[in-house]
Structure 1
Amino acid sequence: MTEAENSSEPQTAPAVSVVRPGEGETIVLGTTRMRVLEDGSRTGHRLAITESVLAPHTQGPPQHRHARHDEGFYVLSGTVRFTVGDEEHDAGPGTFVLVPPGAPHTFANPGDRPAVMLSTFTPDLYLQYFRDLRDGLGDGRRTLTPQAAVDTMSRYATEPAAGLTRG
């Protein structure tokens, strides 16, 4: 038996996280509103989860590649267009897209209605990228230049997918 098993003191289970509607950190980037459901602090930084609302006709980021994390997207409502290299995939509610490290990708909402998706980041590395972009925009008082976005990406093991367009 281990020392913990021999102990007469009860062991404490890790705290369960409950994030209710309207709770959680909010990150606004242009026409996209993100709500942080798990920032990685309760998962040993293995997982972060966000809910994103993409306004109609949101273009999304330029195609890019992550070197150190997987990114998952589960579409809750609307249609999200994922571009992976030269391929486009229109994803409706109930569709899950998993992007492994190294895969060029982007997403957009080409429709006339908002689209909502749940996103996962494993590990949680990339969540801070969104905070840095938000902070660089200064609550909408500044415009994010393409070079500033690339510089911020580079701090999170991410780079533009050179030569690829959004589609």
Structure 2
Amino acid sequence: MEVYIQMIGWHKLAIPPSLRLFVNGEFTLFNCGENNQRFLNEHKMHICKIKNICFTKITPETIGGLMGLLLTIDNICDSSINIYGPKSIHRIINHFAYSFAKIKHIKLDVHEFGSDSSVGVVVVVIVVVVVIVVVIVVVVVIVIVVVVVVVVVMVVVSPNRHRSF
């Protein structure tokens, strides 16, 4: 089982921060700000593998790049995407995808927080899994650093070292 988390975007003026969770060949994208798609393409992150998009809130910083990303996915992929977000996300997606831009090839399943308690639980579980994975990665890195430091100290301060002058 392969799992990793990647931060997408890091500067408020260029690309609002998003997270990409990779689990067994599929991506879950948390928030999709403006220029997110460009960043994904420049770094060879396959957008056809995006299966879930979760929004923490509806603001230009979190949803500004969604429409362009959906249009691109619609042009090059034939898949279905689950979209999770606050109450107004369903109305926004329906207005854009079916009346303005005409998404034709991908299937969008939109789930709102608050309208179905099970959806909220799913998103909370996803966020908890992300946090747990991050904590595990941090702990593993700390353990590796401690082991390396201990080995280096043992080699440098070893009583078996003989020095000749």
The structure whose RCO (Cα within 8 Å, separation 6+) is larger is 1
Larger Rg: 2
Interval of TM-score (by shorter of Structure 1 and Structure 2): under 0.3
Query: TM (normalized to structure 2)?
Result: 0.25
Q: Which has the higher helix share?
A: 2
